[in-house]
DNA sequence: ATGCTTGTTGACAGTGTGCCAATAGGCCGC
DNA sequence: GCGGCCTATTGGCACACTGTCAACAAGCAT
């Protein structure tokens, strides 16, 4: 009945396993999912997981890496606008992306590795950095290392606000948009006048 | 040589196990630490962990619960000040707390349960809610549910900024303080004029 | 001292994980 | 269309880990 044994291109099989794993991990914590389950869900022998990912944890990290990334920016068209307008449009697009794609992305704001395991932290950091780059580009600002650093924390803020809005309903969409837009501007703006000290 | 068997008050033994566990978890991920190690580190038989926490995971969550909480607010003295001044002083105190206490607290901004396991998420949420309450109190604002919700996301922002500042050095302390103060004010301020729509 | 309460232990059974040699799918040249 | 090779895939082995439970003893009360 079931096709006996199917030989796939490595990249394809790898992806298939990741997809099945994401499904399982989407409603059960890491250690509550056994490799046997993962293998079954992917329709594959247990050993193959180790063959492709070496480790159970490594498969998990692969799933994370995919889930955390924001969709590529199809954000175009608006060139003559001011920075304020661009910021608002960008955040508007991000909010849209959050509703459709970002189930997992939004969830990535919580806490994870309070503990050493900086694996996960590194993955999220990388994703936040990309997001910062995306926003900078959309604002028409240079891809400066300092500016990126300045913008990175707003990724955490954005995710947290989206969670309040989507999962708890304590924000309206407009409120979220207003606050995030203002925040983004605040964080890039401060940097543009770095020589502003109050104390003598 | 080693004291044969020592009988402790439940609360005391429990705490001892948690402390030992935190140490281990501080530089190794959850699944890389075995219960045997946890037991050894605490100088205790393996079975006792299950006796006190039932589950390996439950011990882990207990460690999280402790690590995520901010120190109680010894923030007093400034009553006649304006909201702006209060905000700045509050954030200043939080930055101090982050340097001394908050090793783990700061790290709690990463990613957690991309996966279902909302256990951890719930713990962090609770901690953020407390932090929001603390800030509201310091600002002299009412402990409104709406205001708390509005302030909660700034906890994620604060942690992220602290991480940039402390671990990467991409922020100066003053910059962090300025930005966070402004952000806090932004998030509570918007709410004070909730009837502010641009569109007809 | 002696008994009782209960914190603490050690072993047992079941399950999950990583590893590796054996198997077979499918593309190649012939 | 047929045989052969490359390698994706499998299944089982050995080991480690986890949760449970009945037996044990530390310290208090009488």
pTM check: above 0.85: yes
Residue with tokens 């449009």: A89
Position A112 scores a pLDDT of: 52
CB A7 within 7 Å, strand C: yes
Q: Which one of A31, A161, A190 has the shortest CB-CB distance to B31? A: A31
Q: What does the alpha-carbon distance between residue A120 and residue A122 come to, in Å, rounded to a whole number?
A: 5
Candidates A91, A186, A174; CA nearest to B195 is A174
Candidates B117, B197, B103, B69; CA nearest to A29 is B117
Band (pLDDT 50/70/90 cuts) for residue A193 is: very low
CB pair distance less than 8 Å for A112 and B116:
no
Q: What does the alpha-carbon distance between residue A28 and residue B113 come to, in Å, rounded to a whole number?
A: 9
B124: pLDDT strictly greater than 50: yes
Residue B181 is encoded by which pair of tokens? 């103060």
Region A180-184: what's the mean pLDDT?
Answer: 97
Band (pLDDT 50/70/90 cuts) for residue B26 is: confident
- Mind listing the pLDDT tens digit for each residue in B178-198? 999 999 999 998 655 444 444
Express as a percent the part of chain B with pLDDT over 70.
Answer: 86
Whether B125 contacts B119, CB under 8 Å = no
- Mind listing the pLDDT tens digit for each residue in A71-93? 877 667 777 889 999 999 999 99
Strand D bases within 7 angstroms of protein beta carbons: 8-12, 16-22, 25-27
- State whether residue B169 is helix, strand or coil: coil
Chosen from B33, B110, B124, B162 to mutate, greatest number of chain A CBs within 10 A = B110
CB pair distance less than 8 Å for B111 and A114:
no
**Set of chain B residues whose Cβ sits within 8 Å of the Cβ of A152:** 160, 164
B78: pLDDT strictly greater than 80: no
**Set of chain B residues whose Cβ sits within 8 Å of the Cβ of A26:** 115-116
Candidates B102, B98, B99, B75; CA nearest to B87 is B75
Q: What does the alpha-carbon distance between residue B161 and residue B171 come to, in Å, rounded to a whole number?
A: 8
């Amino acid at each position: 009945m079931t096709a006996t044994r199917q030989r796939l291109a490595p990249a394809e099989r790898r992806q298939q396993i990741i997809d099945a794993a994401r499904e399982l991990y989407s409603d059960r914590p890491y250690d509550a999912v056994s490799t046997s389950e993962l293998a079954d869900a992917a329709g594959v022998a247990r050993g193959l997981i180790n063959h492709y990912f070496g480790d159970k944890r490594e498969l998990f990290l692969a799933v994370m890496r995919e889930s955390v990334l924001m969709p590529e920016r199809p954000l175009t068209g608006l060139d003559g606008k001011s920075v304020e307008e661009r910021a608002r449009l960008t955040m508007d697009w991000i909010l849209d992306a959050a509703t459709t794609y970002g189930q997992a992305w939004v969830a990535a704001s919580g806490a994870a590795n309070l503990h050493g395991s900086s694996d996960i932290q590194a993955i999220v950091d990388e994703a936040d950095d990309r997001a910062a780059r995306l926003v900078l580009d959309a604002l028409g600002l240079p891809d400066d290392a300092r500016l990126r650093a300045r913008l990175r924390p707003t990724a955490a803020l954005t995710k947290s606000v989206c969670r309040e809005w989507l999962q708890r309903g304590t924000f309206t969409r407009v409120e979220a948009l207003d606050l995030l837009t203002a925040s983004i501007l605040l964080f890039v703006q401060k940097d543009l006048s770095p020589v502003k000290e109050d104390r003598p």
